Amino acid sequence: MRGTIVNVIAIFLGCSVGFILKSKFPEKIGKIVMQALGLASLLIGMQMALKTNNILLVIFSLVIGGVIGEIMGIEESLERFGERVKLKFKSNNTSERFVEGFVTASLLYCVGSMAIMGALKEGLSGNPDILYTKSLLDGLTSIAFTAAMGIGVLFSAIPVFLYQGGITLLSRLIKDFLSPEIINEMTAVGGILILGIGFGLLEIKKIKIGNLLPAILVAALLAAIFK
């Protein structure tokens, strides 16, 4: 889990720099930064989504995964966790977008192809190079996120550690089950979720991306069944 540990450290460092810069960011600068990140998320999401070889599999994965996530209340659980952390580390700045920063950063850092592929590669081969690259990107992104949305972004390191670390450990147990086809469909579904995050950052539409997270696992199962 070296790659995930480095990733968490990079987020901490980036958030520390972003928190220092926050007071120097006028509101209009913070807004344009979020719009830039939103557009970048749309581009990344589209590139990932196009990896699918079976659009119906992606659709069914999203529908089934969304129903599962809605029943489990994943998005609401993330928000409640963010609220609890906010109460313990409450800032005097009541306008700080703590929970939004935590949830948005957690989802963006967890559902990308580099998170999935990097954790899988480290688990299967012991090579963390993809996660090292992701660490650099997440560190730089967390500077902008924290400067624009506040210290809540820092606590996204917790789900990143649990999610990526969990995939790394699990992949060692199911390495014979995974194939390039399965990984492609998981990546494509992850791309759709990142598109949804982009819509939220651009304030076009707030989508419960957390409740759609099970779609990634559903995609793996359907791809294994129908490959």
Distance CA 102, CA 99 (A): 5
Q: pLDDT (tens digit, 9 = 90+) per residue, 42-79? A: 888 898 889 898 999 999 999 999 999 999 988 888 88
For residues 201 and 196, give the distance between their C-alpha atoms in angstroms, rounded to a whole number.
9
Please name the residues in contact with 24: beta carbons below 8 A apart, sequence gap of 6 or more. Answer: none
Q: What per-residue confidence (pLDDT) applies to 9?
A: 95
Each residue's pLDDT tens digit, 194-214: 888 889 888 888 888 889 989
Domain range for 162 is 2-20+27-226
Residue 93's pLDDT band (cuts 50, 70, 90): very low
The total domain count for the chain is 1
* Residue 84: burial class (beta carbons within 10 Å; 0-12, 13-18, 19+): exposed
**CB within 8 Å of 31: residues ≥ 6 apart:** 148
Report which secondary-structure segment, H or E, holds 182: helix 180-201
